[in-house]
Amino acid sequence: MSPNHALPRRVIARLDIKGPNLVKGIHLEGLRVIVAPDGHARRYYEQGADELLFIDIVASLYGRNNLADIVQQTAAEVFVPMTVGGGVRSVDDVYRLLRAGADKVAINTAAIARPGLIQEASRLFGNQCIVLSIEAMKQPDGRWEAYTDNGRERTGVDAVAWAKQAVELGAGEVLVTSVDKEGTRKGFDLDLVAELGPVLGVPVIACGGAGNATHLQEALGAGADAVAVASILHYNTLTVGDCKTALAEAGFEVRM
């Protein structure tokens, strides 16, 4: 069991951003515009979200992250930690987002291209600020391959081995999104969570597939330290408070 399980489990609201809009897809594709993100961020904060996760989902495609303004605006009225990712390619990008108000920065594509970026960023800003983001897809041979560019590009990199390497380089947290499950509301990839959660020694955030409170319980039971949820909040299936109440009733320690 992860040593982090001594801490309360977290419910994190994930907001995928494209331009000025909050969007939601299935398998990270077929994006549907929901609304401007600021009202949702404030609502999830008021509902008791432990953290907010902002991902610029087209940043790697266009080679830039455009979330600094949104982060700055949100930080003025939302007082929980914020993780921001998408298109982070350098320590300068990390610094810019931290300065805008992010507490942590998630890195995916650039870290696979140059793993030393994880080490450089963690040395400069502290490993608690650096989150490895993995977009994983299960392959016919049973292993999980890491994808980049919002699940568009294959890398040939084994996702589990890469997570372990990145933690050794200084990643202080791992966000693992199952591309197969994302947006389906059919539950998390529990086998993938079980491969990572109990062994990495840093917090693991499970993302992709939450459709009900039972799915959250299953992910935490498989070894996740936190769950990141999107659809069930965006479409008012559950509130953050509903999620936490269900987890508490199932025996998980949460911040109420």
What 3-state DSSP class applies to 5? Answer: helix
- What the block records as the tokens of 20 is 């000025």
- The terminus-to-terminus CA distance of the chain in angstroms comes to 23
Residue type, 189: D
Selecting among 50, 51, 56, 135, the annotated active-site residue is 135
d(CA 186, CA 138): 16
d(CA 112, CA 154): 11
Q: Is 135 a catalytic residue?
A: yes
What 3-state DSSP class applies to 68? Answer: helix
Residue type, 158: D
Q: Is 16 a catalytic residue?
A: yes
d(CA 113, CA 172): 19
CA atoms within 13 A on the CB side of 192: 32
Tell me which residues are annotated as active site: 16, 135
